[in-house]
């Protein structure tokens, strides 16, 4: 069929995705990466109980379309009702459903310039009008976001805490204070994908049914289940119920539900993983400093490294690492694109980073 009858909106959009996957780069270079340190996965992996639970599931059966057991366990974990919880195909999938619920042609949305791009991808896909504010000292700035929301009458305001790609964070109580300026007609979309890795007090200290905000969480980071695609949102029951109007009711596969439930129940392994992540962050920071670069404070499972110059220099370092088999990424937007971003890795992966970074910097200085 040569005459595709796409909608005018679909015809206007570029055929692109927010991220180029490491597999795509491996195919292009004809070799796999020796150190996969760019996708913010948890290389330490999930609980063995999660792996066992996933292996036991009969894959000939559809998954429970209500994710009942997982939602009940999450509600108990967070001290709320299952009616406050929706489970979906990672935070990315839930963001897509949320934008579909709220955003039509020209509807205003506010985010930070250079923040997590998948949210912007969904806004574009449903015809929304995206308004951005700059970072302030490498932090997303709630005051700027909420002021812009008031200016444009934004339906959605996106804020990640902790932030990707910079690794910075705000105290949750400070966000609550800033929310006094959140317009009454705006919904705060608070992406807390990395919050388990962050210092105590980072999570938003508000009841689950506060109607001003929806919080996004995931099993992809601290729990090590990125490949299973399990995310969930915490929000007011009325908002959570609205997801059932548009979500893919069989989108959550059976093994993923079982794996997430088992991972949630193994908090000892979870705490061990957090210790490994913290140790890896310290090692990445040491490697950066040994090479004359500046690691930024991180509340996530990665460290953003200030290369000290411009985007061309940072990109040259990134290319030098990739050419040497070390996969890393970098922010997209100035001035954050003076940096590269390195995910936490095993000691062996970080040894390779330490070995290859000096040569990558030397190449960049040529």
| 34, part of any domain | yes
Residue ending a domain, among 228, 249, 267, is 267
Q: Residue 360 corresponds to which tokens in the numbers above?
A: 């990558």
> 27 CB contacts (<8 Å, ≥6 apart)?
none
State how far the Cα of 244 lies from the Cα of 2, in Å rounded to an integer: 35
Q: How much is the average pLDDT of 176-185?
A: 98
What is the model's pLDDT at position 207?
Answer: 97
Confidence tier at 366 by pLDDT (50, 70, 90): confident
β-strands 231-234, 85-88: how paired? antiparallel
Residue ending a domain, among 215, 242, 267, is 267
Question: Are 116 and 192 found together in one domain?
Answer: yes
State how many domains the chain has: 2
Lowest-confidence segment of 7-11, 14-18, 330-334 by average pLDDT: 14-18
| 189, part of any domain | yes
**Tens digit of pLDDT for each residue in 52-63?**
999 999 889 999
**Tens digit of pLDDT for each residue in 240-264?**
999 999 999 999 999 999 999 999 9
| 1, part of any domain | no
| 2, part of any domain | no
Q: How much is the average pLDDT of 227-247?
A: 98
What is the model's pLDDT at position 19?
Answer: 82
Question: Are 41 and 149 found together in one domain?
Answer: no
| 3, part of any domain | no
Residue ending a domain, among 250, 267, 284, is 267
Predicted TM-score of the model (pTM): 0.96
Question: Are 327 and 355 found together in one domain?
Answer: yes
Question: Are 103 and 136 found together in one domain?
Answer: yes
The CATH code of the domain that includes 289 is 3.90.1150.10
Question: Are 35 and 84 found together in one domain?
Answer: no
Question: Are 101 and 224 found together in one domain?
Answer: yes
State how far the Cα of 183 lies from the Cα of 157, in Å rounded to an integer: 10
Question: Are 218 and 183 found together in one domain?
Answer: yes
- Beginning with the edge strand found earlier in the chain, give each strand of the sheet holding 213-218 in spatial order: 85-88, 231-234, 213-218, 187-191, 156-160, 108-112, 129-133
The CATH code of the domain that includes 196 is 3.40.640.10
* Residue 94, domain extent: 48-267
Question: Are 120 and 220 found together in one domain?
Answer: yes
**Tens digit of pLDDT for each residue in 281-319?**
999 999 999 999 999 999 999 999 999 999 999 999 999
| 330, part of any domain | yes
**Tens digit of pLDDT for each residue in 335-359?**
999 999 999 999 999 999 999 999 9
Question: Are 276 and 219 found together in one domain?
Answer: no
Question: Are 203 and 319 found together in one domain?
Answer: no
Provide the mean pLDDT of the chain: 97
What is the model's pLDDT at position 1?
Answer: 54
| 113, part of any domain | yes
Contact 352, 361 (CB under 8 A): no
Question: Are 101 and 250 found together in one domain?
Answer: yes
Question: Are 96 and 209 found together in one domain?
Answer: yes
| 251, part of any domain | yes
């Amino acid at each position: 069929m040569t005459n595709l009858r796409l909608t005018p909106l679909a015809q206007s959009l570029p055929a692109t995705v927010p991220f180029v996957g490491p597999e795509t780069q491996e195919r292009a270079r004809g070799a796999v990466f020796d150190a996969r340190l760019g996708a913010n996965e948890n290389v330490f992996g999930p609980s063995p109980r999660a792996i066992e639970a996933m292996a036991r599931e009969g894959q000939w059966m559809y998954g429970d379309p209500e994710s009942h057991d997982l939602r009940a366990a999450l509600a108990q974990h967070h001290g709320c009702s299952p009616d406050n919880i929706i489970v979906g195909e990672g935070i990315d999938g839930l963001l897509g459903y949320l934008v579909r619920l709220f955003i039509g042609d020209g509807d205003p949305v506010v985010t930070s310039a250079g923040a997590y791009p998948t949210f912007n991808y969904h806004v574009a896909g449903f015809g929304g009008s995206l308004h951005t504010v700059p970072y302030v000292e490498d932090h997303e700035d709630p005051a700027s976001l909420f002021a812009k929301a008031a200016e444009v009458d934004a339906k959605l305001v996106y804020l990640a805490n902790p932030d990707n790609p910079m690794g910075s964070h705000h105290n949750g109580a400070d966000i609550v204070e800033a929310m006094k300026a959140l317009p009454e007609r705006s919904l705060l979309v608070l992406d807390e994908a990395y919050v388990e890795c962050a210092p105590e007090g980072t999570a938003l200290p508000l009841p689950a049914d506060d109607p001003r905000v929806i919080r996004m969480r995931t099993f992809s980071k601290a729990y090590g289940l990125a490949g299973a695609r399990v995310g969930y949102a915490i929000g007011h029951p009325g908002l959570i119920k609205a997801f059932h109007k548009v979500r893919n009711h069989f989108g959550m596969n059976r093994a993923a539900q079982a794996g997430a439930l088992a991972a949630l129940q193994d908090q000892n392994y979870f705490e061990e993983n957090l210790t490994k992540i913290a140790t890896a962050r310290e090692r990445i920071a040491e490697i950066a400093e040994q090479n004359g670069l500046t690691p930024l404070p991180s509340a996530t499972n990665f460290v953003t490294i200030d290369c000290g110059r411009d985007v061309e220099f940072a990109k040259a370092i990134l290319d030098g690492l990739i050419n040497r088999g070390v996969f890393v990424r970098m922010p997209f937007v100035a001035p954050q694109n003076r940096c590269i971003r390195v995910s936490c890795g095993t000691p062996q992966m970080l040894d390779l980073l330490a070995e290859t970074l000096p040569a990558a910097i030397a190449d960049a200085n040529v």
